[in-house]
Amino acid sequence: MADLKTLDKTYIANTYARFPVEIVSGRGSVMTDADGKEYIDMGSGIAVNAFGVGDPLWKQAVTAQLDKVQHTSNLYYTGPCVQLAKMLCEKTGMKKAFFGNSGAEANECGIKAARKYAAEHKGPEYSTILTLWNSFHGRTLTTLAATGQEHYHELYQPLTPGFAHVQPNDLEDAIAQMKAHKCAAIMIECIQGEGGVNVLDADFVKGIAAAAKENDILLIVDEVQTGNGRTGQLYAYMNYGVQPDIVTTAKGIGGGLPIGCVLLGEKVADVFAPGDHGSTFGGNPVCCAGAVSILSRIDEALLAEVREKSAYIFAQLTGAPGVESVSGMGLMIGIKPSKKTAAEVVKACMEQGVLCLTAKDRVRLLPALNIPMELVQKAVAVIKAACAS
C-alpha cells in the first residue's frame, strides 16, 4: 500500500483525495482491500455498480459481446446500442437516444440539443440554459458553467457563456428568470446529489415543468446520479409526474462500464442531423450489452425492493442519536450528523468495515440496488454507532 501510494502520488494527476484503502476485489456489495479486510459497500462506485461487483448476468452479457466484437465505429450498425435505445424509449416514452461515455458528455449533448432546437424554433438568441444553484452537472467547461456552484468555476474562466442560475424550490425566481432571459432550456437534478442530497419540492418541479412548457422552454432532467432505479422509480422525474423533453443519464446504467445516454422527447426527437454530434466510443457494443442486462432487470419488483430498503434506512436513522436529519429518496440517502462532521463519520465507518460517501455536510449512501437486506442492516448499525459516539 505504501508503495502504491507513492507511485500514485508520483504518476497520477493530483485531482483526487483518496481514502487510504486499496480495493483489490469484490463480490456483490462486499469489497476486499489489499490486506484482505472486507467492507460493506454503501457507495457502489458513486452509484455505478447498480448490481454490485461481479454481477454474473452483467458479466455474461459483457463477455458474450466481447467474444463477438468489442468496438466498431458509428459508421456501421450494431445490435446492442439499438436494443438499448429501444428499451429506454419503451420504458420512458422518450423518442430517441444518443449514447456517449459519461454523465458530463450526456449533459453536453442535452445542452446542444436544446440550443439547436431553440435556435431553429425561436431564434439563435434563445440560448440561455437555466440551472439551479448548488447543482452539479459535470466537469467539462460547459457542464461546469451549468453547475451552480461558483467555487468550481473560479480557476477555469472563461466558461461557456449562456447559463443563469435559479434558487432551488423558488418557483417565483424560476419564472422570473424564464422571463428575464431568452431561454432554450431549464436543467434540473430532481435530487441534488453532489450538492448534498437535496430533494426538490414536488410543487417546484411541477411548477417549472408547467412554466417551461407554456414558454416553449425545454425541460432537461439530469438523471446521471438519480437515474436507473436509484430513487425507487426508473428515473427520479417519475416520482414527480412530469414529462421532461430531454433526460440525461450515465453511471448506474453501465453497471461499471462507461456509458452516457441522452433521451430525446417528442419536441427534440429529430433535432440532430448527421454530423451534428457524435462520439467515437458512443454506443460501444460491449457497454451497451452490459447496459441492456442492467436495464432489463430494473423492474417493478426491484424498484419495490429499493423502496423497502430505503424505508428501513430512513426509519433507523431518522431521529437517531447524533443524527440531525436524513434526506433523499430510494437508495440515494444523505445523513446530516449533529455531533461529528460527515468526514469523521465516514472515517469511523471505514474503520468498522463500511464504505460510505460524503456530499457537502452529509454522509451519502448510494449502495447497489440489489444490496441484501442483511448487509443494509449491518451497515446501518455501524453508521448509527458512528453518528452516536
Task: Tell me the three state secondary structure of residue 303.
Answer: helix
Point out which span in 61-69, 118-126, 219-227, 267-275 binds ligand PLP (CB under 6 A): 219-227
> For ligand PLP, which stretch binds (CB under 6 A), given 2-10, 112-120, 136-144, 316-324?
136-144
The answer to the question of residue 228 lying near ligand PLP (CB under 6 A) is: no
* Neighbour tally for 300: CB within 10 Å: 9
Residue 33 near ligand PLP by CB under 6 A: no
Question: What does the DSSP 8-state code read for residue 275?
Answer: T
Considering only 160-168, 177-185, 187-195, 198-206, which stretch makes contact with ligand PLP by CB under 6 A? 187-195
Show the cell assigned to 266.
417528442
Which parts of 302-321 interact with ligand PLP (CB under 6 A)? none
Residue choice 33, 41, 55, 222 for contact with ligand PLP (CB under 6 A) = 222
Q: Which of 188, 224, 333, 368 binds ligand PLP (CB under 6 A)?
A: 224
> What span, in angstroms and rounded, lies between the C-alpha atoms of 245 and 166?
19
Q: Is 165 in the site for ligand PLP (CB under 6 A)?
A: no
d(CA 249, CA 224): 4
The dihedral through the CA atoms of 309, 311, 316, 320 has a sign that is positive
Interface with ligand PLP includes 194 (CB under 6 A)? yes
- Burial (CB < 10 A; 0-12, 13-18, 19+), residue 81, is buried
The answer to whether 136 and 194 have CB atoms below 8 angstroms apart is yes
Looking at the Cβ atoms of 222 and 245, the one nearer to ligand PLP is 222
| CB-CB contact of 161 with 129 (8 Å) | no
One of 103, 256, 283, 330 touching ligand PLP (CB under 6 A): 103
| Nearer CB in complex with ligand PLP: 41/222 | 222
Minimum distance from CB of 106 to ligand PLP (Å)?
Answer: 7
The nearer residue to ligand PLP, 174 or 332, going by C-beta atoms, is 332
> What is the helix, strand, coil percentage profile of the chain, to 5?
40, 20, 40
Q: Which is nearer to ligand PLP, 103 or 285 (CB)?
A: 103
Nearest approach, Cβ of residue 14 and ligand PLP (Å): 18
Q: Does 142 bind ligand PLP (CB under 6 A)?
A: no
The piece of 131-139, 266-274, 314-322, 360-368 that touches ligand PLP (CB under 6 A) is 131-139
CB-based burial of residue 12 (10 Å sphere; 0-12 exposed, 13-18 middle, 19+ buried)? exposed
HSE toward the beta carbon, residue 228, CA cutoff 13 A? 34
What are the residues whose beta carbons fall under 8 Å from the beta carbon of 219, sequence distance 6 or more?
A: 185, 186, 188, 208, 209, 212, 213, 242, 243, 244, 245, 246
* 225 sits near ligand PLP (criterion: CB under 6 A): yes
Maximum Cα–Cα distance across the chain: 61
Q: Which of 242, 250, 342, 371 binds ligand PLP (CB under 6 A)?
A: 250
CA dihedral angle for residue 246, residue 250, residue 255, residue 258, rounded to 10 degrees: 130
Please choose, out of 18-26, 134-142, 200-208, 269-277, the segment that lies near ligand PLP by the rule CB under 6 A: 134-142
Q: Do residues 166 and 177 make contact, with C-beta atoms less than 8 angstroms apart? A: yes
Q: Which stretch binds ligand PLP (CB under 6 A): 80-88, 186-194, 282-290, 334-342?
A: 186-194
CB of 87 to ligand PLP, least distance (A): 21
Under a CB-based contact definition with an 8 Å cutoff, are residues 222 and 237 in contact? no
Residue with Cβ nearer ligand PLP (189 or 245): 189
Compute the residue count for the chain.
389
Residue (of 282, 175, 295) closest to 235 by Cα position: 295
Of 102 and 231, CB closest to ligand PLP: 102
Segment interacting with ligand PLP, rule: CB under 6 A, options 115-123, 166-174, 221-229, 319-327 = 221-229
Q: Which is nearer to ligand PLP, 277 or 378 (CB)?
A: 277
Nearest to residue 241, comparing CAs of 280, 202, 274, 287?
202
Query: Residue numbers of the site for ligand PLP (CB under 6 A)?
Result: 102-104, 107, 136-138, 189, 193-194, 222, 224-225, 250
